[in-house]
């Protein structure tokens, strides 16, 4: 299994500002994933972060809006840039691990944009 921590756990931000979310894993992993979960909704994959290469973004998400860093095998950051109220959501970091290659999720960062 993998233990994942995220910072901050929650934040309230002003429109037009940016927030960087940090994700730390207790073991080395090749891929880290960033998901968004809007209130009462399912999980939507934003991007896959690979160490040593650019992140791979899913349809509807772009690097300018959600820049990602992956400096080593245990850490990643996701920045939500030029925020608007529509970006209010929970952002979850995740890794594949375990016998079943299941997803382990961090506790999430609850973002509110005013």
Partner 1 sequence: GQQVMQIPQYQHVQEGEDFTTYCNSSTTLSNIQWYKQRPGGHPVFLIQLVKSGEVKKQKRLTFQFGEAKKNSSLHITATQTTDVGTYFCAGYNNAGNMLTFGGGTRLMVKP
Binding residues vs partner 1 (CB under 8 A): 40-45, 59, 92, 98, 100, 102-108
CB of 4 to partner 1, least distance (A): 9
Between residues 51 and 81, which has the closer beta carbon with respect to partner 1? 51
CB of 105 to partner 1, least distance (A): 4
CB of 33 to partner 1, least distance (A): 9
> Exposure string (b/e) for 62-99, b if CB count within 10 Å is 16 or more?
eeebbbbebeebbbbbbebbebeeebbbbbbbbbebee
Between residues 58 and 69, which has the closer beta carbon with respect to partner 1? 58
Query: Among 87, 90, 89, 110, which Cα is nearest to 15's?
Result: 87
């Amino acid at each position: 299994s993998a233990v994942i921590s995220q910072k901050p756990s929650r934040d309230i931000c002003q429109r037009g500002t940016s927030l960087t979310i940090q994700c730390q894993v207790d073991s080395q992993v090749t891929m880290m994933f960033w998901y968004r979960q809007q209130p009462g909704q399912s999980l939507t994959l934003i991007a896959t972060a690979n160490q040593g290469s650019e992140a791979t973004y899913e349809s509807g998400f772009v690097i300018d809006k959600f820049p990602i860093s992956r400096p080593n095998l245990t850490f990643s950051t996701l920045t939500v840039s030029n925020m608007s109220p529509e970006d209010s959501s929970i952002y979850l970091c995740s890794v594949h691990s375990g016998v079943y290659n299941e997803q382990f999720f961090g506790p999430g960062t609850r973002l509110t944009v005013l």
